[in-house]
Amino acid sequence: MAEFKFLGYLADLYGKKRVKIPLDSARKLRDILGVEFPEDRSIVLINRRVGNFDNLIGNGDTVVIMPIISGGGS
Interface residues with another protein (CB under 8 A)? 5, 7-9, 12-13, 38, 41, 43, 45, 48, 50, 64, 66-74
CA distances (Å), origin 56, targets 9, 15, 24, 62, 73: 24, 22, 12, 12, 37
Q: Which residues contact 60 (CB under 8 A, 6 or more apart)?
A: 1, 2
The helix/strand/coil state of 41 is helix
Q: Which is nearer to another protein, 21 or 45 (CB)?
A: 45
Least distance to another protein, CB of residue 2, Å: 17
Q: Which is nearer to another protein, 22 or 50 (CB)?
A: 50
Least distance to another protein, CB of residue 63, Å: 12
